[in-house]
Structure 1
Amino acid sequence: MPKLVKLYLRQVAVGFVLSAIFVGLLLGFNVANLRGLMLATQGGYIAAFMLFFFNGLVFAGVQFAISIMRMADKDDQGPKGGHRQRVRYGQPVPVRVAAGR
C-alpha cells in the first residue's frame, strides 16, 4: 500500500478517535441538554451516531490537512510572496464620442 494511503488511513483513525472523545465529552457533560434529548427521543441513537460520524469526518480532514502541511521541506528557501510589480497609474485621456440624434 502506498505511503500516502497509509498516512490517510492513520489520520482518519485518529480523527474518528478524537470524534468519539468529543462526542463522549458532549454527552458526558450534557452540553445544551444534549444527552437528555437523545435519551428522551425514540431515534436518539441515530442522532448520536450522526454526531459521531460527521464530527469524525471533520476531524479526520483536519488531521490529514495538518499532517500534509507539516511535510514541507525545512530547507525550502524559494521566493515568498510572489514577485510584486509596481502599479502604474495612467493619466486620463478624453475620448470623443459622436452622439446621434
Structure 2
Amino acid sequence: MPRLVRFLIRHALIGFGLAVLFVGALLLLDVARLGTLIGQSPFGGLAALVLVVCVGITFASAQMGFAVMLLPRDHDAPQDRGGTRAPSGSALRLAPARAATGRNRAR
C-alpha cells in the first residue's frame, strides 16, 4: 500500500478514536440529557452507533485535513506562485491622461 494511503488511513483512525472518546464523554457526562435519552430508548444502541459514525466522519476528515496541511514543505521544489509562465521584464506603466478643465469641457 502506498505511503500516502497509509498516512491518510492512520489519521482517519485517529479521528475516529477521538470521536469515540468524545461521544463517550457526551454520554457519560449526560450533556443535554443525551445519555439519559439514549439509555432509556429501546433503540439507544442504534442511536449511539449513528452518533459515533457521524461524529467519527467529521473528526476523521478534520484530522486528515490537519495532517495533510501540517506536512513539511520541500524547500528544494520551486514555490508555487500561481502560474507557469516566466514573468516578463516589462512592468505595467501608467499612461498619461488628459484631464478636462472648466474651460475645455465639452457642452
State the TM-score, normalized to the length of structure 1. Answer: 0.72
Larger Rg: 2
Q: How many angstroms apart in 1 are the aligned matches of 2:6 and 2:54?
A: 22
Tell me how far 1:31 sits from its aligned partner: 0.2
Q: How many angstroms apart in 1 are the aligned matches of 2:80 and 2:49?
A: 47
Q: How many angstroms apart in 1 are the aligned matches of 2:44 and 2:21?
A: 18
Which residue identity does 1:10 align to in structure 2?
Answer: R
Tell me how far 1:80 sits from its aligned partner: 6.6
Q: Deviations over 1:5-41 (max 9, x none)?
A: 1011101110111011000110111000001101111
Cα-Cα RMSD: 2.2
Structure 2: segments with no counterpart, 5+ residues: 84-91, 93-107
Q: How many angstroms apart in 2 are the aligned matches of 1:49 and 1:33?
A: 17
Secondary structure (helix, strand or coil) at the match of 2:61 reads: helix
Q: How many angstroms apart in 1 are the aligned matches of 2:2 and 2:80?
A: 31
Mapping 1:7-86, distance limit 5 Å? 7-73=7-73, 75=75, 78=79
Which residue identity does 2:39 align to in structure 1?
Answer: L
Q: How many positions carry a matched residue from both structures?
A: 83
Which residue identity does 1:55 align to in structure 2?
Answer: V
Q: Deviations over 1:45-98 (max 9, x none)?
A: 11100111111111111111111111241637847799xx9xxxxxxxxxxxxx
Structure 1: segments with no counterpart, 5+ residues: 86-101
Secondary structure (helix, strand or coil) at the match of 2:39 reads: helix
Corresponding residue for residue 88 of structure 1: none
Q: How many angstroms apart in 1 are the aligned matches of 2:12 and 2:21?
A: 14
Distance 1:10 1:79, change over 3 A: closer
